[in-house]
Structure 1
Amino acid sequence: MPLQLQKPIAFIDLETTGTNLGTDRIVEIAIVKIAKDGSRQVKRKLINPEMPIPAGATDIHGITDDMVKDAPTFRQVANELKQFLDNCDLGGYNSNRFDIPLLVEEFLRTGLEFDMNSRRLLDVQRIFHMMEQRTLGAAYKFYCNKTLDGAHSAEVDAIATWEVLEAQLERYPQLGDNIDSIIKFIGDDQIVDFARRFIMSNGVEVFNFGKHKGKTVVEVLKSEPQYYDWMMKGDFPLHTKQKLTEILNRTLLKKN
């Protein structure tokens, strides 16, 4: 069943220095953009992370310090990537928990505005885990009957993710044929911050970690205002700090 698109969708895959949203960096990005007519554009770039690539990360994706020493930094390509992703929904494999959050962090570090409010996020892994419980390589074998040669190459993984989604639409007609129907079927994450330090509960933001877990953010900011300063100085992702500041500012506005 061909996917009916109201606007383009961009499947993103990153290779990185590690998995910490607050401190790790992108070393390779591949974007497979599917237009409304089904045509495909691919953009792939090696990125200089401006930090050493740990040996454990190189063992996974094969990218070394020497391979990226002359590559552009994220700041140097940020505007080009932003324009390529303009007016696109975003997809990937485990992308809602890693690739998209880390990409947003990189944009925040550059100070370049990357609006997420109008974008729908389609994580193909959620369909697979709901239906079959497997990894991307197994998903590719299961749905496409192909071996995923070159796994952990960003471009290979991003293209494979798109092919897996196409096969899922054929296998599961109950998904429908558009982004809205798929997200309705698999459930839409109510994301406050990508690191999930806050979650929504009964329509309000609550802490999802630490001594205040389960308490509303507004309640804590009122009773313990120094907690805001502690988080802003701490090793939290920029997106988490941005959302905390938005909640604080909203609280102050209501006061006045």
Structure 2
Amino acid sequence: MKVIYFDTETTGLNSKFDRIIELAMLTVEDGEIKDEYDKFVNIGRDLPAKITQITGITNDDLILKGESEAHIAEDLKNNLTPDTLMIAHNCQFDLSFVYSLLERHYPNEAYEIVSNLKWIDTVTVLKDRKEFPHKLIDAVKYYGIEEVNFHRAIDDTKALYNVTQALKEERNDLKEYINLFGYNPKYEVKNKFPFIKYKKQFFTKRMVDSDKILRRK
């Protein structure tokens, strides 16, 4: 099976108006890392100062090292082949941005591309395993994984790969979470996708029993 661990850095939280400024994908096939993809995106406008402060990404990075959004969209289209398993931490966020980017450049194909993939959100898995908080840096600490430069997409992706292996070793039930995203019942999910099942997920103090994971509740 082809698995892509992926992460985005963006100009903000709204996938309709904000843009991806860095995209990273770690492609694994038959258990081996086959490709590391990490590219800046030249979005043709200045970054908010707050984003530079959080990520360390500058306008010069995007201008001098970035590629056009059209080129990134083409790379996505070529890499996101049907039945590929896509894994991200807070996957709804990254999926929304990937879809919006594809929709701008391939309006007649974008939905088919993303709906033919399989999606796992490691935040959803983590909430069935550990108490709050559930950020990627928290997962790294929970499982004793070496810390990386968080808020840079390629480093987050490598950390995500290690976290996913730890989750699998802890309890091998990740397939139960395919196309299942948990969400905080205090907040409504925006930009829902029909191929994803959304379920209210409450905080837990410990790893839930195998018959009580989100899929089976």
Structure 1 length-normalised TM: 0.65
Question: Aligned to 1:81, which of 59, 76, 79?
Answer: 76
Distance 1:129 1:23 in 2: 29
Match of 2:105 in 1: 110
What residue identity is the alignment partner of 1:146? I
Cα offset for 1:189? Answer: 4.1
Within-5 A mapping of 1:6-21 = 7-21=1-15
Residue correspondences, number: 182
Cα offset for 1:92? Answer: 0.6
Do the aligned partners of residues 172 and 42 (structure 1) sit closer, same or farther apart at CA in structure 2, a change above 3 Å counting? same
Distance 2:155 2:191 in 1: 31
Match of 1:91 in 2: 87
Match of 2:208 in 1: none
Provide the alpha-carbon RMSD of the alignment.
2.3
Structure 2 length-normalised TM: 0.76
Distance 1:31 1:198 in 2: 23
Indicate whether 1:188 and 2:187 are aligned: no
Distance 1:103 1:199 in 2: 13
Residue identity (%): 23
Contact 1:137 1:147 in 2 (8 A): no
**Higher strand fraction (1 or 2):** 2
Q: Map Cα deviations across residues 157-176 of structure 1 (whole Å, 9 max, x no partner).
A: 01111110110111124x1x
Do the aligned partners of residues 69 and 123 (structure 1) sit closer, same or farther apart at CA in structure 2, a change above 3 Å counting? same
Cα offset for 1:76? Answer: 2.3
Distance 2:118 2:76 in 1: 18
Q: Map Cα deviations across residues 93-131 of structure 1 (whole Å, 9 max, x no partner).
A: 001x21111011011111262312221110111111221
Distance 1:152 1:130 in 2: 24
Distance 1:199 1:82 in 2: 18
Indicate whether 1:27 and 2:21 are aligned: yes
Match of 2:142 in 1: 142
Q: Please give the secondary structure, in 2, of the residue aligned with 1:18.
A: coil
Distance 1:197 1:28 in 2: 21
Cα offset for 1:67? Answer: 1.2
Distance 1:136 1:47 in 2: 23
Contact 1:92 1:123 in 2 (8 A): yes
Distance 1:171 1:161 in 2: 15
Distance 1:140 1:53 in 2: 29
Uncovered stretches (5+) of structure 2, i.e. residues with no partner: 183-188, 195-217
Question: Aligned to 2:118, which of 112, 120, 129?
Answer: 120
Distance 1:130 1:106 in 2: 31
Match of 1:131 in 2: 129
Q: Please give the secondary structure, in 2, of the residue aligned with 1:116.
A: helix
Match of 1:56 in 2: 50
Uncovered stretches (5+) of structure 1, i.e. residues with no partner: 1-6, 201-256
Distance 1:86 1:199 in 2: 18
Do the aligned partners of residues 38 and 140 (structure 1) sit closer, same or farther apart at CA in structure 2, a change above 3 Å counting? same
Distance 1:167 1:67 in 2: 33
What residue identity is the alignment partner of 2:25? I
